[in-house]
Structure 1
């Protein structure tokens, strides 16, 4: 019998790629650039946390998080994704859901989102289970993560 999906997920994963694939057949795009940065973690007690960002983000002019300009907040917020909450696995169907207890994007608060999931060795691939809106297009997201190794 193969290892349980839940057990395979537990740990930290570094983002390798993140692409949005439009359902209309137009060109895929990379909302966080072609070399995005990110970590997703799954804990043994059933919580997950995801943080993704575009590299090369500009620092605020003032070294105070609460004193940024509207332009600085817009640039920072539009190049970062963060959410955390419980996750659930259906072992029989090998499906995964993320529930958003906290989210940078307020519209996701309280949502439970299904993910298409596959794990091959130390590579985790996650995708949206149904199309979403991104940059004005209807897309399917595909994120590839590699198991994080201690440094």
Structure 2
């Protein structure tokens, strides 16, 4: 799977499911955007942002923008159907130095990704949730 991940992937959809209720949270809005890039030498850069983000003019605005962002960089490895990132930099300092596991199913030009159940720093108010993400391999445009 490692060889098949290498390259740039464009975000298609991003859903967040709450474990306790099974409800889906509209955490990133109807049209989030982003990319994940896997390099041949073992680096991954992951940057996703929510819909309709506007330039911040106040500290409160900047704080709100953090709720619709997921970004990290680190070294990755593949174990079975998972990619594991040893996070070196992140939008959320508590992620630095952790390992982030993602289960991946590759199907043609698509990669379907599911996170483990976890407490995210930017939504679900400390409740367990998981992200269900779809990427499409980016073209050469």
TM-score with structure 2 setting the length? 0.90
Aligned residues: 137
- Tell me the residue number matched to 2:110: 123
Q: Secondary structure of the equivalent of 2:2?
A: helix
Gaps of 5+ in 2: none
Q: How many angstroms apart in 1 are the aligned matches of 2:21 and 2:105?
A: 24
- 1:72-97 Cα distance to aligned partner (Å, 9 max, x none): 2212222211100100012xx23220
Runs of 4+ in 1 over 3 A off after TM superposition: none
Q: How many angstroms apart in 1 are the aligned matches of 2:20 and 2:56?
A: 37
- Is 1:23 the counterpart of 2:19? The answer is yes
Residue correspondence of structure 1 range 88-99 to structure 2 within 5 A: 88-90=77-79, 93-99=80-86
Residue of structure 2 aligned with 1:144, choices 129, 134, 138: 134
- Distance apart, 1:48 and its partner CA: 0.2
Q: How many angstroms apart in 1 are the aligned matches of 2:33 and 2:3?
A: 24
Q: Is the 8 A contact 2:30 2:51 kept in 1?
A: no
Calculate the aligned-residue CA RMSD, in Å. Answer: 1.4
Residue of structure 1 aligned with 2:37, choices 41, 47, 50: 41
Q: Is the 8 A contact 2:18 2:124 kept in 1?
A: no
- Distance apart, 1:100 and its partner CA: 0.9
Gaps of 5+ in 1: 62-68
- Distance apart, 1:30 and its partner CA: 2.6
Structure of greater Rg: 1
- Tell me the residue number matched to 1:132: 118
